[in-house]
Amino acid sequence: MPDLISVIVPVYNASEYVSQCIDSILIQSYQELEILLIDDGSTDNSLQICKAYCRRDPRVQLIQHVKNRGLVSARKTGLQASRGKYIGFVDADDYIEPEMFKRLIYAIEKYDVDFVHSGFIVEGENICHYEENLVDFQFESRGKYIAENILRNQTMTFSLWSKLFRADLIKDAYLSLNDEQSYGEDLLCLCNCMILCNRFYMMRDAFYHYRVYDGSMSHLNWLNICFQESRLYEYITRIFRKNDLLKTCENDAAYHYKSRILEAMMQDKASGAIILNYCFPGIEKLKNKRIAIYGSGRVGKNFYYQISSYGQCEITAWVDRDNHGIFNLIRIDKPEKLKEIPYELIILAVNKEEVADEIRNTLLHQDICKDTQKIVWEKPLHINNPLHV
């Protein structure tokens, strides 16, 4: 009996395209499929369309998120429900050629690899700028390959949907991702796959039709992209550090980061670019917390933009001993304001540790804050030169 392929399709408000997507999977020449539709809280007609396909074909299964939880969570739901030996992904607004999974499973078994990568098609043009290649990390440096071919030259696109994976590899690589890190999650997953796999194969044939439309991640404004790329860089370096690859990959990771920031700045025609120099490292630690920011200098202004853009915590006060007043219609209060407002953490937005220690001692001595554990300082990440942290 042929091996089962699980095809995971996250669906969110895609009623205009999802029928074409599902139809293209159902007519695959390779028929041993389970098609997992993950409706991620759609508010249009997507859910009803998905239910109709479930009634039509027993290979189609629907899993419903009552509320929108994001792409990473939807894909994780699909991975956890999947039963296939191999796993592929299709986005609900795209569609695939009838031979796609037949050709991919043939390659993955012929070359005995952990995943196979293929090209894709945009507006009728095949996108494929590499040669067919079998990469075996028994004979090739893993860190050097990631640095040169993923981060610097990008000989392989990061997308999950252009690949077919062995189930154990993609589950190990993807389920460890943060649910909130939808920006760049494909790159993070690919880095994990590169670290975990033994061999993979790159084929030049293109089967996946990728739809380009306004409103995608690539249309975020400059400020949001700056914050998102900074967070993504932090996650990437964390992966490399954990796997003893940071020394090999750090220069190319920084190159990738700076290239993305420059590209975003050049493409941002709608507004003037705000040049940010610093960000608070490990911003996910602030999730669901009420935050007070101490300091309104360059670091403080950068922290305020970053944390307010993060959206997963609440800034209840912005204070400064010397520079209180109004900045861009945002009120900056004296530190004594902290006696009146609720907060769980005070973030010291200063660059030097000795200055942070002075502020901490003053806050404690003046009974503005009585709990030293609530006063947090971490060395700001210099995002224009991320290697010197």
Q: What is the pLDDT along the chain (389 residues), one digit of tens a residue?
A: 789 999 999 999 999 999 999 999 999 999 999 999 999 999 999 999 999 999 999 999 999 998 889 999 999 999 999 999 999 999 999 999 999 999 999 999 999 999 999 999 987 777 776 778 999 999 999 999 999 999 988 888 899 999 999 999 999 999 999 888 888 999 999 999 999 999 999 998 999 999 876 444 444 566 677 778 888 999 999 999 999 999 999 999 998 888 787 666 655 544 444 556 788 988 888 999 999 999 988 899 888 878 877 778 889 999 998 877 666 557 788 999 999 999 999 999 999 999 999 999 999 999 999 999 999 999 998 765 444 33
Instruction: Give the predicted TM-score (pTM) of the model.
Output: 0.69
Please state, in angstroms and rounded to a whole number, the distance separating the CA atoms of residues 101 and 85. Answer: 13
Nearest to 335 by CA among 349, 346, 350, 319: 319
Residue 299 half-sphere exposure toward CB, CA atoms < 13 A: 21
pLDDT for the residue numbered 47: 96
CB 323, CB 296: distance < 8 Å: yes
Please state, in angstroms and rounded to a whole number, the distance separating the CA atoms of residues 288 and 206. Answer: 43
Measuring CA to CA, how many Å separate 163 from each of 158, 261, 303, 370?
10, 27, 38, 54
Identity (one letter) of the amino acid at 340?
Answer: E
Token readout for 93 is 């607004």
Whose structure tokens read 């995002």? 383
Please state, in angstroms and rounded to a whole number, the distance separating the CA atoms of residues 237 and 245. Answer: 9
Q: Which residues contact 357 (CB under 8 A, 6 or more apart)?
A: none
Nearest to 218 by CA among 167, 165, 170, 267: 267
pLDDT for the residue numbered 180: 81
Nearest to 179 by CA among 297, 87, 80: 80
Identity (one letter) of the amino acid at 234?
Answer: E
pLDDT for the residue numbered 367: 92
Q: Which helix (H) or strand (E) holds 17?
A: none
Q: Which residues pair with 202 in a beta bridge?
A: 117, 133
Token readout for 373 is 């554990």
Whose structure tokens read 């030097």? 352
Tally the residues of the chain: 389
Q: Which residues contact 47 (CB under 8 A, 6 or more apart)?
A: 11, 39, 64
The angle subtended at Cα 307 by Cα 302 and Cα 188, nearest 5°, is: 100
Please state, in angstroms and rounded to a whole number, the distance separating the CA atoms of residues 239 and 191. Answer: 8
Nearest to 351 by CA among 275, 282, 283, 298: 298
CB 364, CB 283: distance < 8 Å: no
Token readout for 363 is 């806050």
Nearest to 363 by CA among 263, 283, 274, 292: 292
CB 258, CB 233: distance < 8 Å: no
Nearest to 74 by CA among 110, 36, 46: 36
Burial 266-275 (b: 16+ CB within 10 A, else e): eebeeeeeee
Nearest to 276 by CA among 382, 155, 129: 382
Strands (E), the chain: 5-11, 33-40, 60-65, 86-89, 95-96, 115-122, 125-127, 133-136, 163-166, 199-209, 278-279, 290-294, 314-319, 325-327, 330-332, 345-348, 375-376, 381-382
